[in-house]
Structure formats: C-alpha cells, structure tokens
Structure 1
Amino acid sequence: MEMFTDWRTWERARAELQARPLAAGDLEVLERAVAAARRWHGSQQRPSGAPYLEHLLETLEVLVRGAQVTDVEILAAAVLHDVVEDTEATVSAVEAEFGPVVAELVDWVTAPPATGRGRQAKRAAKAAYLRRLREAPPEAITVKLADRISNVQTLDRMPPDFQRRYYAETVTYILPLAQSLPDARGRWFTGWYESWRRHFAHLG
C-alpha cells in the first residue's frame, strides 16, 4: 500500500510541485490556497496533535503524486476542502478568493451539520452526505477520494472501535465512488483502495 506522508510542510510540497507539469501561475494559486487554509484553520490540529495543514498537504500529495492530477482548481479545492466544514469560512468566501469552480468543489465535499442531537443523528447525517456524493461531479469525487486516503492510510493509529467503523464506512461508500470514475484516475484510486482494503482486511 503506497503511503502519502512526505509533504508535511508547504516548502516540501512546493519543491516537488515545481518539478511537475503545472501551467503558468498554478503554483501561485496553490500558494494562496495554502495561505488561506492556514488563516482559516488557525491552530486546529489533527487527532494525532499534528498541525491540520499536514492533512491538507497529504490530500494534495495524493492527487499530485498518486493520481497525477494537474488541474489547479481540483488541487486548490483539495487544500481548502475542510475550511467550510471545520472553520468560520463560507462557500462565498472561498468563491471570492478562488472562483466559482473551486467553491463548488469545496461545497460538494462539505458535510452538512447534523439536524438532531446524539451519536445516531450524527451518523445518519454522515451517511446521507456520503450517499449524496454519488451525484457529485467527477472533480469533487476526486477531491473526496484523496481526502479519505489521507485519513485511512494510517487507520491503525486510531482507537479499535473507530477503525472498524471507518473501515466499514470506507468500503461501503468510498470504494464505489472510486469505481465510478471511468478514466485512468478512477483506475488508480480503485487500485489504491483495493490495496488498502487488503491491508486492513482484519477489520472487515
């Protein structure tokens, strides 16, 4: 199972991106996206205690190194994919800085808040959100697939009950999204997730 944990800082990511076939100006767009993500997420951390930016850069790394994505709007949306869900940022704010396409992709991958209280309400809202992603455009699905790879590649570091639940959720909802992409990108994601599924088969 290929891991994507090298781009822990923007400086490392930027150095590798400079060697990629990006269009003129794309690196500047991504630099602005990283700066905006830093501003919006602030001191937010991952469950491990690592800066939240590491997750965003891992998602970017999956797209660039793994799926060979060069579309700057998809890449910028990957960096910004959690700002509306987890910070005070709005879709309108994202659109004002990065345009309607990036804002739409971020909107698609933003899970709405649960309407009820308690664990069951939250899980129902999450399932509804994941089912809705079947209707998302391929570009938004691509962002979500990369986001989930960042989260599940180190699943064994999480508590056992979370591991089993997240494994089942990924197999049920995320693998079919990968299989829904008909191009080489979809084949890459499908192959990665199948490798991941074998690696964590003991959770099934």
Structure 2
Amino acid sequence: MEEILKLDADALAARVIDIMGSDTWPSVEKAIAMVHEKHGGQLRKDGSDFRGHPFRVALYLCEVAGLKDANLVCAGLLHDMVEDTNADHADIEDDFGPKVGDIVRAMTWPIRKDGVDRSEHDLKLFEGMRWDDRDVQIVKSADRLDNIATIEGAFCDEHRDAYLATTRQGMLPLTLACNTALYHALNNALTARGCPE
C-alpha cells in the first residue's frame, strides 16, 4: 500500500487501466478521463494533486479489497465529483449508469450545519450508512483508507486526532462488515498514525 502513495496521478491512472483493462462497462477509461478533466488543477488540503486521491481509491478497491467490478471502480474514481466539481448526479448517471450514480449520490454527504461538531456530524452519517448498500460502504471504506494514509499535513493535530478517532469509531465497524481486507488495511493505517484501538 505504501508504494501506491509514491505514484503520481498519471502512473496511478495507468495502473488502474492495467488492472481493469480498457473494455469495461461502465467505462473505467471514461471515468479516468473525467477525473483528469474535472479534478485537474485541484489540490488537496496537504497541497498534493487531487487526482491522486480518486485513483488511489480505485486501486485500493482492486488491490486491497480484491474487487474488480467496473461499477465499484468507477464509483471510486468519481466519488468526489459532485462535491468538488461542477458535475452533477445526472452527469454521472447518464455516463456511467444507475449503479454508479447511486453510489456517488450516497457518497455525497450533506454540508455540515454551522455550529455542528464535525465528529458528531460524521458519526451520524456513518450511523446512517449502516442502511446503505454494501457497495457504498466498500467505496467509502476505500475513500477513508486513502484519507487516513495521506492525513499528514492535511489537518491540525486536534482535527487530525478527531478524524482518526471518528474513523475508528464510526467507519471501521462498517468496513469489517463489508470487506475484511479493507478492514485490516484501515485498522493498520489508524494504528500506524497513533489512533489506539
């Protein structure tokens, strides 16, 4: 997993194509092109190329979770598209089908209200995810795994510690229920960053 963190966006995208092939439905290549188009030039909180995040999420789905389902991989690639670009749910569903659209819709969390603690907000959303489709839980687990793996430099210490604790308390049980390989990877990432069990 550490090796994936060292790859740039183009190398990550090529690796996804190597694993998935170029003839999938929905089209993984088209999802990768959309990531390049819509997330190109965006930076993450730590200053890194935003495109690396969805590409790593797709690779965690393939290489860690052992899943090579094109719907899941496309949803992993597109999971932040509606929140962070001018794309909307109709664009996703029209181009990638209802399954991908449904996962991306479920991954698009509501904006936190003023005065609501972030940890409290996230824990309520995790609680609601218990009723979501298993595929939503899997993609969210891969997303959270990458956020934890790349958390250094993204948050102040207080926010970082709260994010780690919220992930352990709210996301980790969902991950255990949906994919044990992702569970072990996420648990190890949390432990490596000093979040006690």
TM-score interval for Structure 1 and Structure 2 normalised by the shorter chain: 0.7 to 0.9
Counterpart among 161, 164, 167 of residue 167 in structure 1:
164
| 1:83 CA drift (Å) | 0.8
Q: Is the CA contact 1:141–1:177 (under 8 Å) kept in the aligned structure 2?
A: yes
Report the equivalent of 2:97: 99
TM-score, structure 1 normalization: 0.84
Identical aligned residues as a percent: 23
In the alignment, which of 40, 45, 48 is matched to residue 46 of structure 2? 48
Q: What's the counterpart of residue 150 of structure 1?
A: 146
- For residues 23 and 40 of structure 1, what CA distance do their matches in structure 2 show? 22
**Most deviating of 187-196 and 65-74:** 187-196
Q: Kindly report which structure 2 residues correspond to 1:177-192, keeping only aligned pairs within 5 A, or say none.
A: 177-181=174-178, 186-192=179-185
Change (3 A) 1:200 1:24: closer
| Matched AA of 1:148 | R
Shift of 1:108: 1.0
Inter-CA distance 92–129: structure 2 relative to 1 (3 Å threshold): same
Greater than 6 Å deviation, 4+ residue runs: none
**Structure 2 gap segments, 5+ residues each:** none
Give unmatched runs, 5+ long, in structure 1. none
2:181 partner amino acid: W
Deviations 1:91-140 (A, max 9, x none): 111101111110001011111123x324x265544332222111111111
Structure 2 SS opposite 1:201: coil
TM-score by length of 2: 0.87
User: Closer, same or farther in 2 for the Cα pair 1:101/1:153, shift >3 Å?
Assistant: same
> Counterparts of 1:16 and 1:145 in 2: how far apart (Å)?
18
Match of 2:188 among 182, 186, 195: 195
RMSD: 2.4
Conserved in 2, the CA contact under 8 Å of 1:74 and 1:139?
A: yes
Mapping of residues 64-143 of structure 1, within 5 Å:
64-114=62-112, 116-118=113-115, 120=116, 123-143=119-139
Stretch deviating more after TM superposition (104-113 or 194-203)? 194-203
CA 1:10–1:76 in 2, change beyond 3 Å: closer, same or farther?
farther
Q: CA deviation at 1:201?
A: 3.3
Q: Judging changes above 3 Å, is the alpha-carbon distance between structure 1 residues 195 and 188 closer, same or farther for their aligned structure 2 residues?
A: same
